[in-house]
A and B are shown apart, each in its own frame.
Chain A
Amino acid sequence: MTKRRPVKIIRPPSFSIAGFLRDFKGLWLYKDLLYTLSAHRVKVRYKQSVLGIAWAVLQPLSLMLIYTLVFAVFARIPTGGTPYPVMAFTGLLLWTLFSTALTSSTNGLVSHAHLVTKVYFPREILPLTYVVAALFDFAIAALLLAALMVYYHVAPTINLLYAIPIVLILTCFVTAMSLAFSALQVRFRDVGVAMPLLLQLWMFATPVVYPLSAVPQRFQSLYSLNPMVGVVDSFRTVVLNGTAPDLHGLGISAILSIVLLPACYIYFKHVEATLADVI
């Protein structure tokens, strides 16, 4: 036989750098599954709904209208010149990506118990597909942001290019969180139950529906330890103000995300080894 055969060695779980790289390589072999499954997530989500893909836009849009009513019409919080709706929408756009990915992936392993106990594939694919599906929704909703910018006469500048690394950092962070929470959910179903509350609190600890400037100065350093703060604020700066982002805040988010991602992946793989016995 001329075909080259892969050699696979299964040993008791233990951590090593080589093992970590092997896991990563294994994931690469299954890239087609990641693609197919992610595409199907998107299809299934909208298949039997009347509005279909429009939901990806409607969700942040309706939230924007509600928060505009509350914070701009009733409470009239200062936004420093930018129209409130577009300010809120930039925040909600990123926040929806984060919360959709995290909520759906947390249940990702448990809801596929029938698959996980019957056939092997790198299990991280399950939470990852939800992240990919959320990114797809994000891309659709971003089109509405462009429309809003035209409507409110916000001209993009060269600094808009910063949006690319910012979204990448967010993707890194949400991937890390999705891996960690989906693995935790296997052992502690409390995680899934607590998730809506956690996300609610987390959203108000992030400048999503209010500007960062609304946070009192003395809380700022503690506040910016939340990786979502740097991401959301920088995104808003580069999109709406057209200026370069505050690299200090964004740096904290970037470092935290880059450290958390491998750590969460290792934890996930640790749980994976006995997943089928526990789930």
Chain B
Amino acid sequence: MIDLSFNRVSKRYRIRHESEETASRHPLIRKWNALWTHPEDFWAVRDVSFDVERGEALGIIGHNGAGKSTILKLLSNITTPTAGEIRINGRLAALIEVGSGFHPELTGRENIYLNGAILGMARSEITKKLESIIEFAGVRQFIDTPVKRFSSGMYVRLGFSIAAHLEPDILLLDEVLAVGDASFQKKCLDRISELKEAGTTIVFISHDLRAVERLCQRVLLLKRGQIVMNGPAKEVIAAYQNDATLSSESVEVHKRGETKEVEIRTLSFLNDNGQMNPVFKTGKPLIARIDFDVHEAVNDAVFSVLLFTSDGESHCELTTEFSRDSLSLQRGKGSIEFRTDELGLLPGVYFTSVHVQQRGAQDVIHYQYKSTTLRVDFDRVVRGNFFLPHDWQVSQVESDEVVELEVQNK
């Protein structure tokens, strides 16, 4: 049974390039000019076909601008396709940015009715679920207070609670899981899993590859508005990650004041056996190795490797900065290895930057950005944000011995 089908769907946007000079002119003059210039066609989605079976969870991934959000907008009927046909078999609901339909002057209760109706629930249905919605959101005490007096946390919880009670046949998920605190996110995910187990068809559009892999069996990879891969989640995500590695070419970013007495040649990642670029897994050893050339001797040099998440946020650092030994470099070639026995990083793709500088100096000697990426594969599931290396010990005292001890004490 097919719940959702895209049949050769395309969406075109027309873009008119306006030079700064014409952009400032009067709208009527711009209209007149537009008559003589050809608009540029931009196909946000081009000739895309796919089906989603009932009860299936489909993930859609791709770089920014690949057409993910356009597909979401087409599915939820916010915009219409330029060509093709979309068939939706069942009641579809999109988990939109929570609380975007709230009216600040109305009370929590009134807003439940309002937002529920916007999401397509009948009044009778909302009345039936009202208690459960209030309970789930945990805002019973304030339910008759205008929502403008709500804390932002209450706002978000109430918004999600309404959406979570939709019971759609088909659920569209955007990056909604990225909001709220950890316990709230867990609540969201639990509710989504519940819906999935109840047979709801799910389409999940996200950058969060881990979440996609956890939720979806099948994944579509989009590139420039077209499907380039459609298959089991694991394979497609792996292909995407490799692709991400390929496409992020080594970018030479020159920092001001680079003196280049030392030049970094390569950064490579190795495993225990010295094997280059193997499969890395959380909790297993990792060696990061920098090969460099020294053109002029440097006293007290500091090497650092910075790892970034795919969103570009700095994640963690390997550095010689905090060791007491000072590192003096002589002319010639050399290499330095950073080693960890238990890799704390969770699965994902990490970008890197490497730099060498003199301790305490303002200027860097050499800096390399995104020359290498580190990919950590799925192995065991680690909860939380990182894996903390640890060991454990158990100590037990048998209960009758305790009794004996007490007797002796007396």
Distance of A47 Cα from B114 Cα, bound (Å): 16
| Cross-chain contact B79 with A277 (CB below 8 angstroms) | yes
Contact of A44 with B by CB under 8 A: yes
CB within 8 Å for A44 and B106 given contacts A36-B114, A114-B100, A118-B100: yes
| Cross-chain contact B80 with A12 (CB below 8 angstroms) | yes
Contact of A252 with B by CB under 8 A: no
| Cross-chain contact A121 with B106 (CB below 8 angstroms) | no
* CB proximity of A49 to chain B, nearest CB, Å: 11
| Cross-chain contact A8 with B87 (CB below 8 angstroms) | yes
| Cross-chain contact B82 with A32 (CB below 8 angstroms) | no
Instruction: Kindly specify which of B69-77, B231-239, B279-287 makes contact with the partner chain.
Output: B69-77
CB within 8 Å for A5 and B90 given contacts A30-B120, A120-B77, A274-B80: yes
Q: Which residues of B contact A273 (CB under 8 A)?
A: 79-80
* CB proximity of B31 to chain A, nearest CB, Å: 11
Interface of B is mostly: loop
Q: Which residues of B contact A11 (CB under 8 A)?
A: 80-81, 84-86
* CB proximity of A269 to chain B, nearest CB, Å: 11
| Cross-chain contact B122 with A32 (CB below 8 angstroms) | yes
Contact of B255 with A by CB under 8 A: no
Q: Which residues of A contact B78 (CB under 8 A)?
A: 116-120, 276
Q: Which residues of B contact A154 (CB under 8 A)?
A: none
Contact of B113 with A by CB under 8 A: yes
| Cross-chain contact B118 with A33 (CB below 8 angstroms) | yes
CB within 8 Å for A40 and B114 given contacts A35-B123, A119-B78: yes
CB within 8 Å for A32 and B89 given contacts A11-B81, A118-B96: no
| Cross-chain contact A48 with B83 (CB below 8 angstroms) | no
Choose among A37, A43, A275, A277 the residue with the greatest number of B CB atoms under 10 Å from its CB.
A277
Q: Which residues of A contact B92 (CB under 8 A)?
A: 8
Contact of A165 with B by CB under 8 A: no
Choose among B82, B94, B105 the residue with the greatest number of A CB atoms under 10 Å from its CB.
B105
Contacting residues of chain B (120-140) with chain A, CB-CB under 8 angstroms:
120-123
Q: Which residues of B contact A146 (CB under 8 A)?
A: none
Contact of B56 with A by CB under 8 A: no
Distance of A202 Cα from B358 Cα, bound (Å): 78
Q: Which residues of B contact A201 (CB under 8 A)?
A: none
Closest 10 CB pairs of A and B: A33-B117, A10-B86, A120-B77, A5-B90, A36-B117, A8-B88, A273-B80, A118-B96, A276-B78, A32-B123
Query: What would 4 more interface pairs be, CB under 8 Å, given A8-B87, A43-B110, A47-B105?
Result: A7-B87, A40-B106, A48-B105, A118-B97
Residues on B lying within 8 angstroms of A by beta carbon are: 13, 73-74, 76-92, 94, 96-97, 100-101, 103, 105-106, 110, 113-114, 117-123, 169, 199
A and B contact pairs by CB, cutoff 8 A, 25 listed: A5-B89, A5-B91, A7-B87, A10-B77, A12-B81, A12-B82, A30-B117, A30-B120, A32-B122, A35-B123, A37-B118, A40-B103, A47-B106, A48-B105, A115-B101, A115-B118, A118-B78, A119-B76, A119-B96, A119-B101, A121-B118, A274-B79, A276-B78, A276-B79, A277-B79
